[in-house]
Amino acid sequence: MFFQDLIKRLKRTKNDAQAPARVHSVDNVPLLTEESVMADGYAWIPDWKGLLGKDWAEWQEIAAREKDGPKVLIATSVGGNSALTPMETLFGIALTLRGADVHFLLCDKTLPACQNCSTKVEQDQKDLIETGPPSCDWCFETGQLAIRQLGLPVHLYGDWLTEHDRKEASEIASSKNLDDIFSVSDSGIELGEIVRSAALRYFARGDFEGEKFALPVLQRYLESSILTNRCLQKLYDKYGYEMTISNQGLYVPQGNVVAMGEKNNSRVIAWDIAYRVGCIHISHNKTHIRSFLEEPMESWIDMEWSPKTEKEIQDYLVSRWSGQFDWLKIVTEGSDTIPEEIAEEIGLDLSKPVIGLLTNVIWDEQLCYPANAFESQLDWLMQTIKYFSTRPDLQLVIRVHPAETNCWLKSRQLAIDEIKKNFNPVPENVFLIAPDSSINTYKTMMLCDSVLVYGTTAGLELSCMKIPVIVAGEAWIRGKGISIDISSSDDYKKILDSLPLKHPLEEERYQRALKYAYHYYLRKMIPISLVEPTGFENSPYRIKKQSLNSFREGHDPGLDIACDGILKGSEFTYKAELVTACS
């Protein structure tokens, strides 16, 4: 009955002209054309003179003034990021209007490797090693065009690095082998995790097995990491920035920005765009991905709660089945199917209990979630399949994360390939749903007695569907009284032996799940009303044309929260439960 109500809610939400409270619809927004957004590679750059119109002259005068407010470094670094750089120019204007002395940092084709590098085939790796990043000219040019128009100070990496810095960074990196490259320190910062995460992201894998160019690629990221440290240290020595802003806060060079900011007693703020249309994640000291792991329950457990807030989060969660109100869409198909049709399609026997399993993207899991009871997600996955091969009374449905293939950075290490490499044949009671399948994840999990996860956020959403979730890694719901949390392999074995559970999630855990989901999706995703969606993944938003006053304090509650957190150290929480409902 519970799931039938959810399906009805989905249909009602899709048919309503009015979107759920505080969820921004894209239906009435005039979208940019694909040609203008993607074809020339420049259309995403905000035209601030055109956006501010008659207020442009006033902004130029403000930007040119000498400022005595707190010094803020927006360490954009990789300028050619169409999803992040425009928002950082918006931050630059908003913080300046609040009295801050804002500086930008931009890479001027100095780094031997960075976040904008990726590989699909071996030739990409050879090109990176021999000639450097392929898009440096475009990246630097677009970054310059986006940022310099503001008239605020822009520092270039190359201006702060000496020939000695460059030579030393190159010599250190080239002297390291795979045994010692992760133990290098520079400028008082251990670089191993930063370099490893950057290279794994580049290879889009959870390890370097079989990558014959792993060492030279790692050496390039190590060299870049050292150069970033040296550049930043000189900037801190000269300007003493009180606050440092980094997009994402992971990889090279952003991971270095976070580490060097902390070392120099600069309050570090990391941010990224969030799932919901018009929203950002922003956190103190570290990437939001890790801050959620450490967030105390006190920050959300006692929030104001009512039937209205419960309906708001339920409506939003059901909308995620189709991605209706998200600009980061992973699952967008199959939301109109019914679970029984899915069971028939994949060959499930509904007379036997079904257990679900949701994977993370393998390389992403390696970067974001420290291992707990298992060496890695793959270790957990293989041990789980091995266990189920001994339980013919149960059926295991493995839904591989759609972002393995449905993402601009496609994985080069696929979960299904790893499974088939370890199990030939795959046990008869184990059913695999490929990442590119149109089968809807949420509808599939409705068939399940319980669901096993490692670190995916979908565990929270399933808990809000009253499906018991067993957490084997570092999912954000761990330790919040919502999930069944695993702390050892023996503990895991005992839980698996107890399956099927044969009951929905207990009411107390269910209510906690709803509250935490509300906190995560509607309070920690900060809405910025000054932007509007474009409908394109690589350039998901554009800044609206509006007056300069729109960027001042008191005009956009979400922007005020972001700026207050940056300048005053306050919490980045949008208390949606206290805001009058609006579409």
- Hey, which CATH number is domain 297-523, 3.40.50.300, 3.40.228.10, 3.40.50.2000, 1.10.3720.10? 3.40.50.2000
CATH class label, 38-273+528-578: alpha beta
Name the helix (H) or strand (E) containing 86: helix 85-97
- Domain(s) labelled CATH 3.40.50.2000 in the chain stretch across 297-523
B/e letters for 478-510, b = 16+ CB within 10 Å, e = fewer, are bebebbbbbeeeeebeebbeebebeebbeeebb
Least reliable range by pLDDT among 15-29, 243-257, 382-396, 445-459? 15-29
* pLDDT tens for each residue of 311-358: 999 999 999 888 888 886 655 455 568 999 999 999 999 999 999 999
pLDDT average, residue stretch 67-95 = 97
Q: If pLDDT is split at 50, 70 and 90, which confidence band does 49 have?
A: very high
Looking at the whole model, is its pTM more than 0.85? yes
pLDDT of residue 203: 96
What's the whole-number average pLDDT of the chain? 90
pLDDT of residue 294: 82
Query: What is the per-residue DSSP string for 528-565?
Result: -TTEEE-S-SSS-EEEPP--GGGGSTTS-HHHHHHHHH
Q: If pLDDT is split at 50, 70 and 90, which confidence band does 125 have?
A: very high
pLDDT of residue 28: 34
pLDDT of residue 366: 57
pLDDT of residue 546: 96
CA dihedral of 365, 370, 374, 377, whole degrees rounded to 10: 0
Residue 38: pLDDT above 50? no
Least reliable range by pLDDT among 103-112, 241-250, 357-366, 390-399? 357-366
State the Cα–Cα distance between residues 41 and 19, nearest whole angstrom.
33
Peptide bond into 46 cis (omega under 30): no
Least reliable range by pLDDT among 34-38, 132-136, 406-410? 34-38
pLDDT average, residue stretch 298-310 = 95
Neighbours of 351 (CB within 10 A): 5
Beta-carbon contacts of residue 100 (< 8 Å; ≥ 6 apart): 67, 69, 70, 71, 72, 243, 567
Token output for 302: 């006692």
pLDDT of residue 27: 34
* pLDDT tens for each residue of 385-425: 999 999 999 999 999 998 888 776 888 999 999 999 999 99
DSSP state of 406: S
pLDDT average, residue stretch 229-256 = 97
pLDDT of residue 16: 44
pLDDT of residue 538: 83
Q: If pLDDT is split at 50, 70 and 90, which confidence band does 37 have?
A: very low
DSSP state of 276: B
Beta-carbon contacts of residue 28 (< 8 Å; ≥ 6 apart): none
pLDDT average, residue stretch 200-215 = 95
Q: If pLDDT is split at 50, 70 and 90, which confidence band does 173 have?
A: very high
pLDDT average, residue stretch 298-308 = 94
pLDDT of residue 317: 94
State the Cα–Cα distance between residues 302 and 304, nearest whole angstrom.
6
Left if phi > 0, otherwise alpha if psi is -120 to 50, otherwise beta: which for 397? beta
The type of residue at 149 is Q
Q: Which residue has tokens 């956190």?
A: 283
Residue 5: pLDDT above 90? no
pLDDT of residue 253: 98
- Best CA proximity match to 458, nearest among 444, 449, 337, 333: 444
Q: Are strands 450-453 and 469-471 parallel, antiparallel or unpaired?
A: parallel
pLDDT of residue 334: 59
